[in-house]
Amino acid sequence: MTTANRPAARKLSARLAEQPLSRLAAGLGAIVLAISGFFGGLEPTQVPTTPTAVLDQPIDAGPWRVTIIGSRLLGDLRPLVSLSDEDNHWLVVQLTVEVIADETWTGLDSIVRLSGVDGIESARPEHVVLSRDLTKVRRLHPGMPEKLSLLWEQQGDAVTPLQVELFIAGRTHRLDSLTGRMEWKPEDEPRALLVVPVEDRREQK
Amino acid sequence: MNAPVSRHRRPLWRIWRGMGSVALTLLALAIGQAIIAATPDVDRSERPFLKSGPMGAEVDARSFTASVVGVRSSRIIKERGVEHDTQGVWVVVKVKITAGTEPVLINYAALHDGRGRTFLATDRLRQPIADAARTFQPGIAVEGEIAFEVPADTTGLSLRLAESSGARLMDATTDVALPPGPLWLDPQPVTLDPPVVSS
């Protein structure tokens, strides 16, 4: 700084020092915001899109790891489950689920959501069946992946799908703001989306 | 008479004083955060009370007492003529339960292993005394079995029973260690014994 600029600089610093702190803080914040614009700070946020997955691809979704195997239409499955109307049929999604959390997991019907299928009452399956011995289950234990079948009853007069959209739900282990405890909380966005072809096996037993 | 403060020092003094306020505020926040970090969180402060005891001994779980009478294990469990196999091991624990002063339901039954994993009683078959299947009356000891499905490589199992389910906040829970070492597998399918009143 030259001798001629010193009085001007001293005058500027003196004027700055005389400003209220709140005004100085606001000015500093504006400068930081402007600088951040050069590093993408003012870019519009990206809307998250659901990642797509394919058959036989393991998907980590928090407390569980899911692998979709396939989907089919089936007819009468008595005595395991009964249709509410004999003209209806079952839409079945087969998958492998491994509990990777440290405790038995219940709520198996919340892992997969069905979308865009006509004649289905709920996105959640009505039954969860263990393929090993065809028992209906609600619990799956850590360290033992099992093949499951999820069942939805479809109206007989509805359009039978050639393919279905499946959303894999995820959970995050985080602090619950109400209870103060660490819990597996549902995520707003699904972990993955799959489009699965449907085999029609209603005539087969 | 004090010399007057020079004019160019007064604004600088205000800035120093402001920065000092900010620093003290940050210090107070840091101290508060340190206190929060040092105190137990809710999960720890409200965790269940584990009541330990050896096999065969009665363990007091506040509203009931329980003792582990025996343990069996197999690869196949049979119920109503249907065999259920497993990729792991079936562990069948025989317990004697006596309700305290009021009728009790056992809503929580689990095996806890040495790796910190928890395995709830299986729902692949009907449990005769777990999952609130039976009401235990005060003073009447009942022996019954509970079936669990665990991985074949699990070790350090202990039985945990409680009246309440879910988080079991600050509730008493038994914690009885099962025999250590590899589980001996019965080559024959096992069947759960029906509950009996114990003398």
CB B89 within 8 A of CB B183: yes
Neighbouring-strand partners of residue A30: none
Distance from CA of B199 to the nearest CA of A (A): 35
Band (B70; pLDDT cuts 50, 70, 90): very high
Question: What is the C-alpha to C-alpha distance for residues B62 and B173, in angstroms, rounded to an integer?
Answer: 8
- Per residue in B57-68, pLDDT tens? 999 999 999 999
Average pLDDT value for residue range A76-98: 94
Interface touch B123/A103, C-beta < 8 Å: no
Band (B32; pLDDT cuts 50, 70, 90): very high
B155 pLDDT more than 80: yes
Which chain A residue's Cα is nearest to B115?
Answer: A102
Mean pLDDT in chain B? 89
- Per residue in A9-57, pLDDT tens? 777 777 777 788 788 888 888 888 888 877 777 677 776 678 888 899 9
Higher pLDDT, B25 or A44: B25
Select the residue from A178, A181, A184 to test the B interface by mutation, using most B Cβ atoms within 10 A: A181
A3 pLDDT more than 70: no
pTM: 0.80
Interface touch B42/A181, C-beta < 8 Å: yes
State how far the alpha carbon of A195 is from the alpha carbons of A136, A192, A205, B80, in Å: 26, 10, 25, 40
Band (A151; pLDDT cuts 50, 70, 90): very high
A133 and chain B in contact, CB less than 8 A: yes
Q: How many Cβ atoms sit within 10 Å of the Cβ of residue B22?
A: 11
DSSP A141: -
CB A193 within 8 A of CB A112: no
**pLDDT at position B9, please?**
55
**pLDDT at position B6, please?**
53
CB B84 within 8 A of CB B124: yes
Contacts of residue A10 in chain B, CB cutoff 8 Å?
A: 8
Band (A5; pLDDT cuts 50, 70, 90): low
User: Which of A7-21, A87-101, B43-57 comes out lowest in average pLDDT?
Assistant: A7-21
Contacts of residue B85 in chain A, CB cutoff 8 Å?
A: 132-133
End-to-end CA, chain A: 92
**pLDDT at position B192, please?**
94
Mean pLDDT in chain A? 88
Higher pLDDT, A35 or A111: A111
CB A193 within 8 A of CB A166: yes
Collapsing DSSP states into helix, strand and coil, what is residue B119? strand
Interface touch B117/A181, C-beta < 8 Å: no
SS (H, E, C) A46-102: CCCCCCECCCCCCEECCCEEEEEEEEEEECCCCCCCCCCCCCCEEEEEEEEEEECCC
From A173, A164, A166, A192, select the one nearest A73 (Cα to Cα). A164
Q: Which two tokens stand for residue A201?
A: 């096996």
- Measured between CB atoms, which of B15, B43, B124 is closest to A181? B43
Interface touch A104/B110, C-beta < 8 Å: yes
Average pLDDT value for residue range B107-126: 95
User: Which of A16-20, B77-81, B102-106 comes out lowest in average pLDDT?
Assistant: A16-20
Band (A2; pLDDT cuts 50, 70, 90): low
**pLDDT at position B156, please?**
93
B8 pLDDT more than 60: no
